[in-house]
């Protein structure tokens, strides 16, 4: 009887240890088999089908989006809105209106980002340079220029993919006196 007791005791210990090993593996398997590497400096190159949530609209031409679980600051290519956040300058004419319009159009939205091989990946402040498209394919930059809330902008006079469209959008806004170009709004 003493021999059976020891055998059962050894069996019980093996069973308990095995049970805890199985439970441990089950509980921590997600940590053991998941690739937890950080993205490479968030140099992302999203496909045409990737949409990102806008976390914050800084002003009319700068936003923050969530990419791979991290917040990424995006400077929109081809547009410039009047300044409201540059500590070296006063708030520019129509800056608050442009910022508010961008917030109205972009806050909380899911957008597609597009890189342009004709321009640098990042600006001198480390912001990723991208175009922003809504889920329906509408180019935000073109719309905000066309409505008169932004200027067409060529950084260092570089050519970019949608430059002609953006220039035409600004010409239309000027001709139709929208936003920045409305009579009596801002002096050029």
Q: Are residue 3 and residue 70 in the same domain, yes or no?
A: no
Q: What is the pLDDT of residues 120-164, one digit of tens each?
A: 999 999 999 999 999 999 999 999 999 999 999 998 888 999 999
Q: Are 64 and 74 in contact (CB under 8 A)?
A: yes
Residue 81 lies in a domain: yes
Our answer to whether residue 130 is catalytic in this structure is: no
User: Considering 72, 97, 112, 127, which one is annotated as catalytic?
Assistant: 127
Q: Are 148 and 167 in contact (CB under 8 A)?
A: no
Q: Are residue 163 and residue 77 in the same domain, yes or no?
A: yes
Our answer to whether residue 178 is catalytic in this structure is: no
Q: Are residue 5 and residue 81 in the same domain, yes or no?
A: no
The domain total for the chain is 2
pTM of the model: 0.72
Q: Are residue 149 and residue 65 in the same domain, yes or no?
A: yes
Residue 43 lies in a domain: no
Our answer to whether residue 152 is catalytic in this structure is: no
User: Considering 72, 75, 147, 152, which one is annotated as catalytic?
Assistant: 75
How far is Cα 173 from Cα 179, in angstroms, rounded to an integer? 7
User: Considering 83, 97, 147, 170, which one is annotated as catalytic?
Assistant: 83
How far is Cα 180 from Cα 170, in angstroms, rounded to an integer? 10
Q: Are residue 67 and residue 6 in the same domain, yes or no?
A: no
DSSP letter for 139, please. B
Q: What is the pLDDT of residues 160-185, one digit of tens each?
A: 999 999 999 999 999 999 999 999 98
Q: Name the residue range of residue 24's domain.
A: 1-36
User: Which CATH number is 130's domain given?
Assistant: 2.40.50.90
Q: Please report which residue ranges of the chain form alpha helices under DSSP H.
A: 2-32, 95-106, 140-146, 163-175
Q: Are residue 32 and residue 115 in the same domain, yes or no?
A: no
Q: Are residue 32 and residue 56 in the same domain, yes or no?
A: no
Residue 187 lies in a domain: no
Q: Which two tokens stand for residue 105?
A: 């159009």
């Amino acid at each position: 009887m003493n021999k059976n007791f020891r055998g059962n005791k050894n069996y019980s210990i093996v069973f308990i240890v095995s049970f805890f090993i199985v439970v441990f593996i089950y509980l921590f398997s997600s940590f053991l088999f998941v690739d937890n590497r950080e993205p490479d400096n968030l140099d992302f190159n999203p496909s045409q089908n990737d949409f990102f949530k806008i976390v914050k609209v800084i002003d009319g031409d700068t936003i923050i989006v969530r990419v791979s679980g991290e917040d990424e600051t995006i400077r929109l290519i081809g547009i410039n809105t009047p300044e409201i956040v540059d500590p070296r300058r006063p708030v520019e004419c129509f800056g608050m209106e442009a910022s508010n319009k961008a917030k109205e159009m972009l806050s909380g939205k899911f957008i597609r980002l597009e890189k342009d091989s004709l321009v640098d990946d990042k600006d001198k402040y480390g912001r990723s340079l991208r175009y922003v498209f809504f889920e329906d394919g509408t180019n935000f930059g073109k719309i905000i220029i066309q409505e008169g809330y932004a200027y067409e902008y060529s950084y260092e006079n570089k050519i970019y993919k949608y430059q002609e469209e953006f220039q035409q959008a600004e010409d239309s806004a000027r001709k139709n006196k929208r936003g920045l170009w409305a009579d009596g709004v801002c002096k050029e």
